Structure 1
Amino acid sequence: MIRRGMRHLPMIVWLWLLWVLLWGSASRVVLLGGLLVATVVVAAFSLPPVLTGTVPRPLRVARLLVHLMADLVKSGTIVAWQVLRHGGKTSTAIVEVPLSVDSDLLITAVAEVSTMTPGTLVAEIDRRRRRLYVHALPVRDQRDIDRRKSEVRAVERRVVRAVGRGRTARNRSVPGRPEDT
């Protein structure tokens, strides 16, 4: 029972924090009530453990957030310039990006962090083939496509380093992707 509770501790903490944020108060009633509600929800519903086999690393999470902020500023500037310069005629593309991770949590995290940066939107996730289809702008040539792929792969590496080991496919072949050497 205690072991099951420990596996679900990240979900309990997340639900509890969400409860407190939604109430907008840190009173004793809200804190205790939120903890009670989060525990009951996790106990009543058979939710999968959130961080199976992963160990969050606070310094790496901080580094991920710093990179995200830098990406937001850089890409926001690029998107604003493209809109001012080209308006609705900005060139775009859907870029297929193979992933190495094989965990729903990590794939979702990579997709979310990639989508947060302006000029990039994950249009589709192919879970079976471990692919993200990213709508990107501006894209003028193959070099821009390759740059977008490498940016998403860099996000993937930072997410894996930040949230733990996760099951990666580095030692397995990914269909349509040359092996990393």
Structure 2
Amino acid sequence: MNDLMIGFMLLLLLVAAQASINGDTIKRSDFPDGFLFGVSTSAYQIEGAYLEDGKSVNNWDAFSLSPSNIEDGGDGFVADDHYHRYLEDIETKQALGVDVYRFSISWARVLPKTRFKIFGDRVKHWITINEPNLFTQMAYKNGKYPPARCSPSFGNCSAGNLDIEPLIVVHNMLLAHGKAMKIYRRDYQASNPLKS
């Protein structure tokens, strides 16, 4: 995201905050033509359907099985049950006037049977790794996400090295992104009618 976009988003947040303080109402017409109102989700937080339709265990499934890893002992086995209720959820988004919906699909649902091609004719834009900066910080600095690695000053982890591991993780995420894009372009993009 470039600095201009970040600045614009901050300005919109300030306008919304000021309107809230003044008791004003914010309307769609207050935004420029072409402005998209959108929402996004993360697969593990909403998907549910643990091990249904060929999904295998992912790192969050395994991580949440240890009660000490999740503060309230919860898991994503049902979550918001978006897997079964997606039509109802989409209707709700439409009723709210949402223009775009960015959702994620668990890699453990796509990869076990190389089902990347099942979604290729339905998905126009792909993100290979969701929030890589957050994952790196929370999993390899603070130790709050799987595999829960950190240096002693940042958490109570059994192992980790803050000086080296986050750099290795970012390096490998970049390599994984590059490989995924190469495979997509080579094997799937040509047959994707939605490609832009």
Q: TM-score with structure 2 length normalisation?
A: 0.22
Q: TM-score with structure 1 length normalisation?
A: 0.24
Higher-helix-fraction structure = 1
Instruction: Report which structure shows greater RCO (CA 8 Å, sep ≥6).
Output: 1
Higher-strand-fraction structure = 1
